[in-house]
């Protein structure tokens, strides 16, 4: 922790601090907590997030101050927790030995306030000029190497970046990025191909479908016949052996009819699902630009790999394979 505060007080950026922590192979707080009970086997360990460092630099426990009352429950017995205004926190100075000198703590906070402000809040930065940059793929794009969500940059040529390994030059996905517009064009093209396959599959199912007789009336007739048979047995119009033989036959007919009805219900549900999917596929072929609804309907996730290779995992598929691999040529 002293290293973090010392570098921040010297004016080092958060990027430089995270790079140094990774180079020194210093475990993150969450990794350190589990280190005593298990071995850290993840090759992507010691990856410090900027938010973690900012939380540490604002935590007064490192200068010996005990802080409580940061959250509260709105009602007794409530499971909901709400944040308390910072001015209302309970602070007890000199509660325990300080790990960091107060002057270093204040200097670090002051420097981070100058240099650590996010780009999107800098009035003259690119984040302010391109703050409205968005992509319908946001939240769906993942690094195929480390598995983390790739973030969209607020720049003119907005790109999805693997932010997790930004401080790890030895990572396979270090500086991995994909231009958002190029990725959107590729995904849209693949969605159209998927939509065409879905429409063809739906047409095949429709041509193969055979009209089925409604089983409700047949089931009602069999149940009525069973009731009539029982009345005949009670009034002694038929013997017990005759009743047993005829009832066995009616039970078999009823069982078959119920099974057939279940099949028909499933087929009807499948047809409704196919119809809805066919409608979505038809709509997808009409769009000129990728949209969030189209993405949510067809795409589960998009994985980006080094070498401009991508994999699209589909939410819906026409065959056993629900992944499409695409190579983007430079």
For the chain, the C-alpha Rg in angstroms (whole number) is 33
Dihedrals φ, ψ of 179, to 5°?
-60, 130
Q: How many CB atoms lie within 10 A of CB 118?
A: 12
Mean pLDDT, residues 68-84 = 85
Least confident of 9-13, 58-62, 249-253, 315-319: 315-319
* Residue 206, token pair as written in the block: 């429709």
Structure confidence by residue, pLDDT tens digits, 271-316: 555 566 778 888 888 888 899 989 988 899 999 999 989 999 998 7
Q: Which residue has the higher pLDDT, 209 or 166?
A: 166
**Cα separations (Å) of 258 from 210, 265, 319?**
19, 11, 30
The answer to whether 243 and 232 have CB atoms below 8 angstroms apart is yes
Report the candidate in 221, 219, 220, 293 with the shortest Cα–Cα distance to residue 256: 219
Task: Give the three-class secondary structure for 162.
Answer: coil
At residue 37, does pLDDT exceed 50?
no
* Residue 205, token pair as written in the block: 């199912």
Q: What is the mean pLDDT of the chain?
A: 82
**Cα separations (Å) of 27 from 5, 33, 164, 171, 234?**
16, 9, 15, 16, 83
Alpha-helical segments (H) within the chain: 2-9, 14-23, 29-35, 50-57, 102-115, 126-129, 180-208, 216-234, 240-286, 292-298
Q: How far apart are CA 149 and CA 138, in angstroms?
A: 9
β-partners of residue 310 are 304, 326
Q: Which residues contact 2 (CB under 8 A, 6 or more apart)?
A: 99, 100
pLDDT, position 186: 93
The answer to whether 315 and 140 have CB atoms below 8 angstroms apart is no
pLDDT, position 116: 47
Structure confidence by residue, pLDDT tens digits, 136-154: 999 999 999 989 999 998 8
Q: Which residue has the higher pLDDT, 158 or 283?
A: 158
pLDDT, position 267: 64
Confirm whether pTM is higher than 0.85.
no
At residue 78, does pLDDT exceed 90?
no
Structure confidence by residue, pLDDT tens digits, 215-231: 788 888 899 999 998 88
At residue 246, does pLDDT exceed 80?
yes
The structural domains of the chain, ordered by start, are 2-131 (3.90.1750), 182-327 (no CATH)
The answer to whether 313 and 303 have CB atoms below 8 angstroms apart is yes
């Amino acid at each position: 922790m002293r290293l973090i505060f010392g570098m921040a007080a010297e004016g080092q950026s958060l990027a430089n601090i995270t790079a140094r922590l990774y180079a020194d192979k210093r475990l993150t707080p969450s990794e350190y907590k589990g280190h005593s009970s298990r071995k850290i086997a993840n090759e992507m360990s010691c990856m410090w997030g900027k938010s973690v460092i900012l939380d540490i630099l604002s935590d007064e426990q490192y200068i010996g101050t005990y802080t409580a009352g940061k959250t509260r429950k709105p009602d007794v017995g409530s499971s909901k927790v709400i944040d308390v205004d910072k001015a209302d926190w309970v602070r007890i100075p000199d509660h325990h030995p300080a790990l960091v000198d107060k002057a270093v703590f204040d200097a670090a906070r002051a420097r981070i306030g100058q240099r650590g402000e996010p780009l999107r809040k800098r009035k003259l930065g690119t984040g302010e000029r391109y703050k409205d940059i968005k992509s319908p793929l946001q939240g769906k794009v993942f690094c195929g190497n480390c598995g983390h969500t790739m973030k969209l940059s607020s720049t003119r040529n907005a790109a999805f970046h693997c932010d997790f390994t930004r401080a790890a030059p030895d990572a396979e996905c270090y500086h991995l990025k994909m231009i958002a517009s190029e990725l959107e064009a590729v995904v849209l093209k693949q969605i159209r191909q998927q939509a065409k396959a879905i429409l063809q599959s739906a047409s095949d199912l429709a041509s193969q479908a055979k009209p089925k007789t409604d089983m409700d009336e047949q089931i009602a007739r069999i149940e009525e016949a069973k009731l009539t048979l029982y009345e005949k047995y009670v009034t002694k119009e038929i013997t017990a052996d005759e009743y047993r033989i005829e009832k066995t036959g009616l039970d078999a007919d009823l069982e078959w009819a119920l099974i057939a009805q279940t099949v028909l219900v499933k087929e009807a549900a499948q047809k409704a699902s196919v119809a809805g999917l066919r409608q979505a596929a038809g709509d997808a072929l009409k769009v000129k630009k990728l949209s969030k609804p189209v993405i949510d309907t067809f795409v589960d996730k998009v994985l980006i790999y080094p070498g401009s290779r991508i994999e699209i995992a589909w939410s819906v598929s026409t065959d056993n394979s629900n992944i499409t691999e695409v190579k983007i040529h430079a």
